[in-house]
Amino acid sequence: MCKVLQHGGPDDEGIFYDEKQHLAFGHRRLSIIDLSSNGHQPMADVEQKVWITFNGEIYNYQELRNELLRLGVSFNSVTDTEVIIAAYLQWGTEAFSKLRGMFAFALFDSIKGLTYLVRDTAGIKPVYYFAEDGQLSFASEIRAFTAADISAEKDPNWPIRFLAFGHIPEPYTTLKNVFSLPKGHYLCWTHASSTHEISPYKQTVLKNQITDVDKARQLIKNALIKGVNRQLIADAPLGVFLSGGIDSSLITLLADKEKKEQLKTISIFFNEKNYDEQAYQRVVLDKVSGENFSHLVKQDDFETFLPQIINAMDMPTTDGINSWFISKYAHEDGLKAVLSGVGADEYFGGYPSFNRIRYLGYLRKLPPSLFSAIKGLLPDHYKKLTFLGNDHSAADYLLLRGLFSPGDIAKALNTDDKQVRDVLFNGFDIPHLGPYDQEHASWFEANLYMQNQLLRDTDVMSMNHGLEVRVPFLDEDFTSLAESIAPEIRFNNQQAKKILIDSFNGLLPEAVWNRPKMGFTFPLQQWMSQYKPISDSSLYRGEMAQSVIKNFKNNQIHWSKAFALYQIQANV
C-alpha cells in the first residue's frame, strides 16, 4: 500500500506494527512543516500511548500548541502532527473539532484499544475504508486496496453513477464495499469487538445571522485574510495557482501581501486565443513581486500525457486534466505546496445553477409522473428532464449538473431504466433542502459538485506529482462565516460573487472581475475532437455510444460526455 502511494509522499516512509492489537500503520511523507526527521511518521507520544499516521496540514497548530504548552504539555518537535497527538491526549475526540485545516488521519489509542479515522470538515483530504470480516483497512487512494489485494472486486454499479454524475459520488467508489468516510466525521474502531461506529464531530452553524452588508463585507475581508495567512505556513517552497479569474487573483494578491518576493505564481496559457487568460494574469502579476512560472500547454501535450492523466485519476472522472497539468508544472518549478481558489463559487453564487435553481422549483410543481411519461419524446438537449420522474434531491442536482439521462445510461450499459434509477436514488442519502433558492444551489455545488469532483480531482492529481494544494476559501472559520450571512446579501442575481468582490474593493483590479466568467478551462472540445482514440465512433461499442461520439465530432455534444464514454470503454 505504501509503495503504490509513493508518488504522494516521496520524502520518507514509515511502518508501525502492534502485534498485540493486530494493527499496522503505513505512511508516505511529503515534508512541508519541520523538514527534519522529527516529522517522521507514524508518530507517537513519548509514552507511546497514541500513534498516528496523518495526511494534510493543521493551520492553527501553533495556536493549539501554545494552548497545550500553557497546560503543561511538552513537545519533541515543531510539527503539526505532534500537536494532534497532544490535543487528543488532552481533550479526547473533542480535539477533532478544534483543528483548522485539511486532514485525514488514523489515530490509535493503545490504552483504550481504539483506532480513529478522522476527516476534515470540508472533505479536502480523502480517506477510504473497507470494514469486513472483523478487519478494518484504510487508505488515501483506491488503488492501495487493489494493490494489497484487500478489495479487488469492482462495484458493478459504478458505471451508472459515473455516467450520471461525471464522477463517482461519495460515499461510493469503484470498489465493492470500499467507502469514503464522510467529511467532518470520524470512524471509531473498537479492537476488542472488531466493530465500528461513524460519528460527526463538526459543530452545527447558526445560519443567516448577519443582515448588515457593510458588516458582512468587513467580516469577509478579515476572515479571508486570516485564512490565507495561516495557510502560508510552510518550511518548503510555496506558491499560488493563478488562472486570471476572480478567485485565484484574490488569493494571489492577499498571499503576496504576506509573502512578497518569496511567493511564486504558476500559470498556464494556450495557443487557442478563446481560452488564453494571459492578459488577466498579467494585470495581477503587475501588482505582485514574486517570481511567475508561465507554461504553454498544447494539443500535443494533451495527447502525450493523457494515458498518464487517466492512470493518475485513481477513479474515473470527467475533470482533473487541468489540475494534472498545473500540478506537474508546479512540481517541476520546485514547489511542494500551492494555494488554489477553489470554493468561492460554491459559497458566493458563482455558477449558472444559482439562477437556474428557481426554474427547477417551477418544474417541481408538476407531477413526477409527467416526466416519466414523456421520456421517449424529448430531444437530446432536454432528456435530462426525465430525472424529475424521481422525487429525490439527487434528481434535482442531476438535472442541473448531470451528464446523461437515465434512458441514455441504460442504453450505454445495456441495462434498463429501472435499474439505473434504483442505483441513483435508492440509498443515496441527501437531506431535504427546502425551497429552490440560492442556498439550495449552494448546498448542491459545495456538497456534490465541489466535494466529489473538484476537491477529489485536485487532491489526487496534485498528490500524483508530490504536491499539496491548499484552499483558503474552505477555511473552516471562513465557510462558517459565509453560511451565517443572510442570502439576500450573500448572493446577487446580477453579478456573481458581488459581496466577495466588494469586500476587497481597491485590491482586486476591475479588469479581473468585470468580465465574462471562464473558469479554469482547457480547449478540450477542440483537442478531444481531433484525438482519434476519443473521437472515432467506430472504436465504441453500442449504437448509443457511437451516436454520441458522432455528434461530438460534429460539435453538437460537450466533450465531457465523450470523455466519459471513452473511460467506460476502457474500464467495463
d(CA 339, CA 19): 41
- Poorest-pLDDT segment among 221-225, 339-343, 423-427: 423-427
Place of cell 476488542: 192
> For residues 150 and 139, is the Cβ–Cβ distance under 8 A?
no
pLDDT-derived band at 512 (thresholds 50, 70, 90) equals: confident
pLDDT score of 78 more than 80: yes
Tens of pLDDT, residues 137-148: 999 999 999 999
| Cα 341 from Cα 248, distance rounded (Å) | 5
Rg of the chain taking only CA atoms, in angstroms: 24
Burial degree of 296 (CB within 10 A; 0-12, 13-18, 19+) = exposed
Q: Which region among 62-76, 202-216, 346-360, 393-407 has the lowest average model confidence (pLDDT)?
A: 202-216
Q: What cell numbers appear for 78 in the block?
A: 515543531
- The pLDDT of residue 520 is above 60: no
Q: Which of 34-43, 458-467, 485-494 shows the lowest per-residue confidence on average (mean pLDDT)?
A: 34-43
Q: CATH 3.60.20.10 spans which residues of the chain?
A: 6-200
**Among 57, 528, 159, 469, which residue's Cα sits nearest to residue 309?**
528
Average pLDDT value for residue range 486-494: 93
- Can you give the pLDDT at residue 207? 65
User: Which fold is adopted by the domain 6-200?
Assistant: Glutamine Phosphoribosylpyrophosphate, subunit 1, domain 1 (3.60.20)
pTM: 0.93
Where do runs of H (alpha helix) occur along 141-294? 143-147, 158-165, 213-230, 246-259, 278-285
Across the chain, mean pLDDT equals 91
Mean pLDDT of 331-344: 94
- Tell me the mean pLDDT in the region 321-334: 94
User: For the chain, what is the total number of helices (H) and then of strands (E)?
Assistant: 25, 16
Model confidence at 12, pLDDT cuts 50, 70, 90, reads confident
Residue 458 has pLDDT above 70, yes or no: yes
Q: Architecture of 213-302+311-348+450-522 per CATH?
A: 3-Layer(aba) Sandwich (3.40)
Residues of the chain with CATH 3.40.50.620: 213-302+311-348+450-522
